[in-house]
Amino acid sequence: MSLGHSRITVDVRTSEEYKTGHIPGALNIPLLNEEERAEIGILYKKTGREKALDRGLEIIGPKLYSIYKAIVTASDSNQFELLRHSELLRHCEQSEAIPLIIYCWRGGLRSRFVTSMLNFMDLRCNQLEGGYKSYRRWVLKQFESYKPEELLVIDGFTGSGKTKLLIELKANDYPVIDLEALASHKGSVFGDISSPPQPTQQQFENSLAEELLNIGRVRPIILEGESRRIGFLQIPKPFFETMDKASRLMIDETLEKRVENIYEEYIKSTPQDILADRVLKLEKHLGRERCKELLAELHSGDVKVFVKRILNEHYDKVYMKSYKRRQDAGQLVYSSRNDREEISNWLRESC
């Protein structure tokens, strides 16, 4: 169910908790910092609830006005990202008329305190019942709910231009999820070059769940074929297993064009020391001697030969194993020489 109304969320947990994972678009206005939270937790265990609450109030009291002003100022200046999240509506007692939602870890004292303060100041808001913990349960359930026929995976050898095709399809209103964009990594050993830092695993999962929700389930969702690991992150296991069984659209690009694509995207503007570091990461796959040969070609300036060897001796061999398996399973439903018009026509007829 879609909200139909924009929602504003405020995360009152510590900045460390927020960095680990948060509802996408939420603004972090902490009620306590990590040290204060730890102090109150220890006090609660050693002396009980009453003294912990007293100490909490002592710490929070001087902050209340600045917390209130931060929320009001951010709301007035539209610094929030507006969300469309059905889970927020389901967990809020009230609703459609109240756009401001406050949450903490479990929907406990922190968010209740801030919610009460804001309501006292006539700033209408709701507490997210169950807090971020409940939201995370919702996120993980999303990955278990899809069937292979609800997904279509674009497949092809490394350098075939699959990501560019995804971007074009999304621009033409096809239901596309770019997993590499969500992960801030392009998948290969060179995949972190020119990419921002990767999000945490939790944040990657949260963003993916939101993308799935926003796209809906009217047509098959189009994704790029990936291994389960993208950089340091992993595609959630149930969702990856569904992707693995889904039908595949094969992009059949020439080796020469693939070399050119990789050269332009990764190699051309990347310093040699960074490229050399990435080659060394392939040593367990290629062996020390072949890595030495690749490094020699890289340093000699014969960069396209270097790229071609990496494709031939590593990535293409890895891909062929999965290609044969999918071919035997009847998953390859269409193959194209990267003809965009031809692919669009097939998608219109099939999806």
Q: Give the list of residues 6+ apart from residue 244 with CB closer than 8 angstroms, or none.
A: none
pLDDT at 84 over 70: no
Supply the DSSP string of 261-275, one letter for each residue: HHIIIIITTS-HHHH
Secondary structure of residue 13 in the 3-state scheme = coil
Q: Which domains does the chain have, with CATH numbers?
A: 8-140 (3.40.250.10), 145-350 (3.40.50)
**Which residues make Cβ contacts (< 8 Å) with residue 315, sequence separation at least 6?**
157, 158, 188
For 183-211, how does the pLDDT look when each residue is reduced to its tens digit (9 = 90+)? 999 988 888 888 899 999 999 999 999 99
Q: Cβ distance 132 to 103 under 8 Å? A: yes
Assess whether 125 carries a catalytic annotation: no
Residue 95 pLDDT: 45
Range in 19-28, 53-62, 186-195, 223-232 the model is least confident about: 186-195
Return the beta strands (E) in 78-165 as ranges. 100-103, 126-127, 151-156
Q: What is the pLDDT of residue 302?
A: 81
> Mean pLDDT across the stretch 94-116?
83
Report pLDDT for 139: 96
Annotated catalytic residue, options 92, 104, 125, 291 = 104
In whole angstroms, what is the distance from residue 183 CA to residue 203 CA? 9
Give the model confidence (pLDDT) of 246-300 as tens digits.
999 999 999 999 999 999 988 888 898 999 998 998 998 889 999 999 999 888 8
Residue 55 token pair: 């100490």
Q: From CA 270, how far away is CA 267, in angstroms rounded? A: 5
CB neighbour list of residue 59: distance below 8 Å, 6 or more residues apart: 32, 36, 40
Q: What is the reported pLDDT for 87?
A: 47
Using the predicted structure, report yes or no on whether residue 1 has a pLDDT greater than 50.
no
Lowest mean per-residue pLDDT among 74-83, 125-134, 312-321: 74-83
Residue 152: what are its φ and ψ, rounded to 5°?
Answer: -135, 125
Average pLDDT, the chain: 88
- Give the range among 25-34, 89-98, 201-210 with minimum mean pLDDT: 89-98
What's the one-letter identity of residue 251?
I
DSSP bridge pairs for 248: 153, 332
